[in-house]
């Protein structure tokens, strides 16, 4: 283990060459591998409440405990193939790491934290991949593939032994999946392919959006209701775009944003904000409560040395921690941790969109065959689990195991696993659980 350097800064001060604004508070900067460099970042919230940053380093993965900002500790470092870019995503207590080298996908077991991390296995069904996305509700991993298999779909029914079940698409750089829709950033095609994955064995194209005068279609993300889509093109001068996708047959461009460096990398949506890793502009936080008029609500410049359309600065960001920390990975300055105060800039979430309390509703239809919908409400951002059990109390499926913001959510369960096998007819129990709330209800699956 290694105690890493950390710096605490009071609001309004500047240190270590890193600038800040009054509505972002600097927590720490960690640059333990300056000669090697960081690239992507992701996060993991442990069941005991500890928070970890997962950092792609050129020659491995660094796992850092950021629970206590006054005692930031690297818990482990897992060596990996030497690669400029890594992509990291989590499922249950595992982290999946891919690179552009011909070395397969590492699967890291995080269950031994806070003591250590273990390299549990290496999946060799594919040799390299630039990006992955994990649908944690359905236990499916989507990975960027090759010319013959642009997007691969892998079942995580056995998390240590992923099994490819299908492939689809025309080209892929990155992807995002929510509910039964997969959104594919199609690279040089300059388009976003939208596919139905309600049957992951046979994904079907629903719509293809060709971005007007598009650059390189780089990444895509949607809001929780799949009514708003954000895209980046990683091409100098090309804006971050916000699209109305409430009607997939009539997709329209609502608004655009571009920071001073004129080159955006990736965009992530959380609540009414877009969090953008904007290369030399650092982290940009954009208020999209009115997506026709995006407004910059905050920023943190991790690369004050320049402000041009170059591949320096903020490569990655992760805004989904339970303790409100935001991770920024910078190839030059390492990992920067900040917080963002919406009240400091006079921005508030519309009250009508925030439920007043936790609630779990009765599924509909009930009885059902083959699928039913479960709706629940969260009054604040929290880590939640939605699980299905049989009448003996044995877990059948984890539908949700992630951090979600305040809002109303609907999840569909189709009564079968990814191998197409239906559960037996009978009574089932579903439970919504967070650190502050737990409720169960019954449902009936018929044949």
How many angstroms separate the Cα of 82 from the Cα of each of 36, 56, 79, 279, 328? 10, 11, 9, 22, 21
- Alpha-carbon gap, residue 368 to 348, rounded angstroms: 40
How many angstroms separate the Cα of 37 from the Cα of each of 56, 242, 296, 328, 342? 9, 32, 29, 13, 31
- Architecture, CATH, for domain 2-345: 7 Propeller (2.130)
Domain 351-445 top-level CATH class: mainly beta
425 CB-near residues (< 8 Å, 6+ apart): 445, 446, 447
Of 271, 202, 200, give the one whose Cα is nearest residue 230: 271
Query: At 131, which helix (H) or strand (E)?
Result: none
Of 78, 126, 91, give the one whose Cα is nearest residue 105: 126
pLDDT at 122: 97
441 CB-near residues (< 8 Å, 6+ apart): 360, 362, 363, 429, 430
Query: At 145, which helix (H) or strand (E)?
Result: none
Q: What is the CB neighbour count within 10 angstroms for residue 198?
A: 15
- Alpha-carbon gap, residue 65 to 62, rounded angstroms: 10
pLDDT at 174: 97
Domains 2-345 and 351-445 share a fold: no
Strand residues in 303-417 grouped as ranges (E): 314-318, 326-330, 334-340, 359-360, 372-378, 382-390, 395-404, 407-413
pLDDT, tens digit (0-9, with 9 covering 90-100), for 125-139: 999 999 999 998 889
- Alpha-carbon gap, residue 189 to 206, rounded angstroms: 17
421 CB-near residues (< 8 Å, 6+ apart): none
Of 33, 45, 154, give the one whose Cα is nearest residue 104: 154
- Alpha-carbon gap, residue 375 to 373, rounded angstroms: 7
Whole-model pTM?
A: 0.77
Q: Mean pLDDT per 10-residue run, the chain (447 residues)?
A: 40 36 80 85 91 94 91 92 93 95 95 96 96 93 96 96 97 94 97 96 97 96 92 97 94 96 96 94 94 93 93 94 90 90 49 72 88 89 87 85 81 70 86 90 89
Q: Would you kindly state where each structural domain of the chain is located, as residue ranges? A: 2-345, 351-445
- Alpha-carbon gap, residue 156 to 315, rounded angstroms: 28
């Amino acid at each position: 283990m290694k105690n890493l350097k950390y710096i605490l800064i009071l609001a309004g001060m500047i240190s270590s060459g890193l600038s800040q604004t009054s509505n972002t508070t600097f927590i720490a900067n960690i640059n333990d591998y300056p000669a090697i460099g960081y690239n992507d970042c992701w996060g993991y919230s442990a069941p005991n409440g500890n928070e970890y940053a997962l950092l792609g380093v050129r020659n491995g993965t660094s796992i850092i405990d950021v629970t206590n900002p006054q005692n930031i500790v690297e818990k482990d470092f897992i060596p990996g193939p030497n690669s400029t870019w890594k992509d990291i995503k989590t499922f249950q207590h595992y982290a999946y790491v891919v690179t552009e080298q011909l070395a397969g996908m590492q699967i890291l077991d995080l269950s031994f934290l806070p003591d250590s991390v273990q390299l549990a296995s290496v999946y060799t069904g594919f040799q390299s991949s630039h990006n992955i996305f994990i649908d944690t509700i359905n236990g499916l991993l989507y990975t960027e593939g090759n010319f013959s298999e642009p997007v691969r779909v892998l079942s995580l029914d056995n998390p240590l032994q992923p099994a490819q079940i299908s492939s689809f698409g025309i080209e892929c750089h990155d992807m995002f999946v929510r509910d039964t829709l997969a959104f594919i950033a199609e690279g040089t095609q300059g388009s976003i392919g939208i596919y139905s994955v309600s049957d992951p064995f046979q994904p079907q194209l629903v719509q293809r959006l060709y971005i007007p005068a598009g650059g390189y279609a780089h990444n895509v993300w949607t809001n929780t209701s799949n009514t708003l889509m954000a895209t980046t093109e990683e091409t100098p001068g090309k804006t971050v775009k916000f699209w109305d996708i409430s009607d997939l047959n009539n997709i329209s461009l609502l608004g655009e944003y571009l920071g001073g460096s004129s080159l955006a990398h990736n965009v992530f949506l959380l609540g009414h904000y877009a969090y953008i890793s904007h290369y030399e502009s650092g982290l940009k936080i954009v208020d999209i409560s009115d997506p026709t008029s995006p407004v910059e609500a905050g920023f943190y410049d991790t690369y004050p040395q320049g402000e041009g359309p170059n591949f320096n600065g903020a490569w990655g960001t992760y805004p989904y921690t339970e303790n409100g920390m935001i991770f920024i990975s910078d190839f030059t300055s390492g990992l920067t941790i900040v917080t963002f105060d919406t009240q400091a800039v006079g921005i508030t979430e519309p009250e009508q969109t925030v439920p007043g309390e936790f609630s779990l509703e009765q599924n509909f239809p009930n009885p059902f065959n083959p699928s039913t919908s479960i709706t629940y409400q969260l009054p604040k951002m929290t880590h939640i689990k939605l699980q299905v059990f049989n009448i003996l109390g044995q877990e059948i499926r984890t539908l949700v195991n992630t951090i979600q913001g305040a809002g109303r959510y609907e999840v569909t369960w189709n009564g079968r696993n990814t191998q197409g096998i239906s559960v037996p007819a009978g009574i089932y129990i579903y439970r919504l659980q967070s650190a502050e709330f737990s409720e169960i209800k019954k449902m009936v699956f018929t044949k």
